[in-house]
Structure formats: structure tokens, C-alpha cells
A and B are shown apart, each in its own frame.
Chain A
Amino acid sequence: MSGTSHHDHDHDHDHDHGHDHGHDRDQAHPGHAKDEKVHGYYQLLGLALKELLIEKGVITAAEVRAAIEARDAITPSLGGKVVVRAWTDAAYKARLLADAHSAILELGIDMGPTELIVAENTPAVHNVIVCTLCSCYPRNLLGLPPSWYKDRDYRSRVVREPRAVLKEFGTELPDDIDVRVHDSTADLRYLVLPMRPQGTETMSEAQLADIVTRDCMIGVTVPKAP
């Protein structure tokens, strides 16, 4: 398991003034972390690098801002759109499982050069994704990974004792289900296609989208009928 390369992103930002320290900026910058402070050398260093790169014209404040906004615009609802489409359109689901990269492009989601495999949960198989080496994640579908996805505890343990880890997320799987753990790389990402729960047959696509959470597309939980 495990691949080699990691990360890809693209964004920019903005805000070359001490955006992380404090008190007086709430009105000037509504919507930004209100209590955020600089803690420690590395945070200062990050701000120093940003200011220097802007001063030297390597990046601009506008690019930084645009990059953050672009990233903020990607939420798990994008992945949810893919899942709901697969739940409601068997032909689409077949295309998604055969060639996920092309199938999500049909919905306007571009993985760029990165490969994507959609792993389908069935009554016999439950899938869960991880990046043991770092933090590779289907960002184009789900946005930034949750903090636990990048933490040592999840990365270390989910490949060895996935059932125990899933239990910590409140997910208990029957013993006769195979659990498959997919270790992501920079070049290959995974998305879990959860099973459509019983009792959702009459739900609209919008209602279905509400039960498809980020965590069930990572595979640490399963969707539940409301």
C-alpha cells in the first residue's frame, strides 16, 4: 500500500497585513477566523514568507485571496452530488465505477492530472480511505481534509485495525463484511461510494444530498435515512 507523492493544490491568497493576530480586524474582515492568533515561530515564519513573496512580486495578495476563495468554494457537497447521481442513475454509476475521472467531469468536476477511483460499498464490502504517508485526499470533490485525516492516530491505525477506528467514529460493521482500506497517493485518490440506505426510496435528490456527508465518502461512517 502507499504511494509516493503527495499534495496538490492550487490557490492563492491575500491579506498581507498581520491577519492572524488579533483583535481589531473583525469588522474589517468579516468571516475570517475571529480569534485567530499567531502562535509560535512557524506561524510568524509563514506570514514572513508571504510578505516577502509579495514584496518580490513572486505572488500577489490578490492571487492569495483568490486561491483561498477557490478552495473555500469546494465543499463535500460536490462529492455528494456525484454520490446522489450514482444512486439515482444506474448508467452513471457504471460509468463512475469504470472511469471516475471522466464521470465526474460530466458533472463539471475536474481532477486534473490526478487519477480517481471510486470504491463502492456493498452488503459484502465496506471501503475506507487514508493517506498513511501524508494527507492525499480527493480535495477536488471534498475540499480540505478534516484535521483527523492528517493526524498520526488515523494514518497509523486505520490500515491495521480499521474496525476499531471506525468504531471510534460510531460505525460498527458486521463481522461478515470485508473492510478494504485504500491508501491514497498524490497521483491516485479515492472516494467511497456509500450504499444508499433503506427507506430513502421516495426521497428527492436534494434530500438525498443531505444525508451524504464528508465522513461517509471517506468511509468512516455510513449514511443513515432520516
Chain B
Amino acid sequence: MRGTHDLGGLPAGPVETVPHEATFWEKQIDAIHGLLGDSKRRITVRDENRLYIESLGDDVYNTLAYYERWTAAICRQLVDKGILTQDEIDAKVAELRARGVGADDPDDRDGAACKP
């Protein structure tokens, strides 16, 4: 069976050849990902991380942006490995909202993808 991520050879549209520059948020996720897998921490393993991304399911994989997929995969791993709990994460998200982060977002999603 072809996995969601296995795109080689499938039909698709024109390439958006003018790239968008990496945002600071994207760089932060990239950085967190690197730190969690570095030799000091070894919390995440490269191939395992990939497996989490590839296991998000078609809907999630095709809906989320690249670094959103990474975020969902990192989140699941941290919960599965007991580094963070889902309650802590939910509470922190609520705290961020209370601080006004993302409060004006018209396109909010419920985050079901990274719930176990």
C-alpha cells in the first residue's frame, strides 16, 4: 500500500517556483526537532520521527503545512515517551491563548491530529 507521504510519480499541479522564506516559527520547530534528537538528548530518533509524520493519516498529512506536521509528530512523541502529558500541553495552549497568542486567528483548528 502506498503511504500518504509516498508522492513520487503521482499527478499534481504546477510547482510554486517562488519559495516563501522560512518564518521564525518554522525555524523554531526545526530547531526544537533538531535539539530533541541531538546527542545530548536523544529523545527522538530520526527514522522514528519520520514514522510519526507518516502515521498522521491522509487527512492530517494533506491538510497540515510541512512544519505543522512536524509539530504534530513531535507532540505525539513527547506524550508517548512521557516527556510531556496531554494535560500539560492543553493547559499551556490555553495559557497562550489567554496571553493573546493566536487570539485573532480566523482559521483555528482543533488539533485533533496530535491527540492520541
Chain A partners chain B: yes
Q: Footprint of B on A, CB under 8 Å?
A: 1-2, 4-13, 15, 18-21, 32-33, 36-53, 56, 58-59, 63-64, 67-68, 71-72, 130, 132-135, 144, 146-157, 159-160, 165, 168-169, 183, 186, 220
With the chains together, A222 CA to B76 CA distance in Å? Answer: 42
Closest to A47 in B: B96
B6 touches A2 (CB 8 A): yes
B35 touches A64 (CB 8 A): yes
A169 contact set on B, CB distance < 8 A: 15, 17
B22 touches A21 (CB 8 A): no
With the chains together, A147 CA to B26 CA distance in Å? Answer: 11
Q: Flag B4-31 by CB within 8 Å of A: 1 or 0 each.
A: 0111111111111111101111011111
With the chains together, A148 CA to B17 CA distance in Å? Answer: 6
With the chains together, A18 CA to B104 CA distance in Å? Answer: 14
Q: Footprint of A on B, CB under 8 Å?
A: 5-20, 22-25, 27-38, 41, 43, 46-47, 49-50, 53, 64-68, 71-72, 74-75, 78, 83-84, 88-89, 92-93, 95-97, 99-102, 104-105, 107-111, 113-114
Residue of B9, B17, B28, B111 touching A50 (CB-CB under 8 A): B28
The smallest C-beta distance from A190 to any residue of chain B, in angstroms, reads 15
Q: Could you list 11 A-B pairs, sorted by A, with CB under 8 Å?
A: A9-B33, A10-B34, A12-B31, A19-B28, A33-B25, A36-B24, A43-B71, A53-B83, A68-B24, A71-B30, A144-B27
B92 touches A51 (CB 8 A): yes
Residue of B7, B75, B101, B113 touching A152 (CB-CB under 8 A): B7
A157 touches B71 (CB 8 A): no
B114 touches A165 (CB 8 A): no
With the chains together, A130 CA to B8 CA distance in Å? Answer: 9
A45 touches B75 (CB 8 A): yes
Q: A2-B6, A63-B35, A159-B9 are in contact. Are A38 and B15 (CB under 8 A)?
A: no
Nearest 6 interchain pairs by C-beta: A132-B8, A146-B19, A13-B31, A9-B34, A67-B31, A42-B68
With the chains together, A40 CA to B25 CA distance in Å? Answer: 12
Q: A12-B35, A48-B96 are in contact. Are A132 and B19 (CB under 8 A)?
A: no
A11 touches B7 (CB 8 A): no
The smallest C-beta distance from A185 to any residue of chain B, in angstroms, reads 10
A45 touches B24 (CB 8 A): no
Q: A7-B50, A12-B34, A155-B8 are in contact. Are A44 and B27 (CB under 8 A)?
A: no
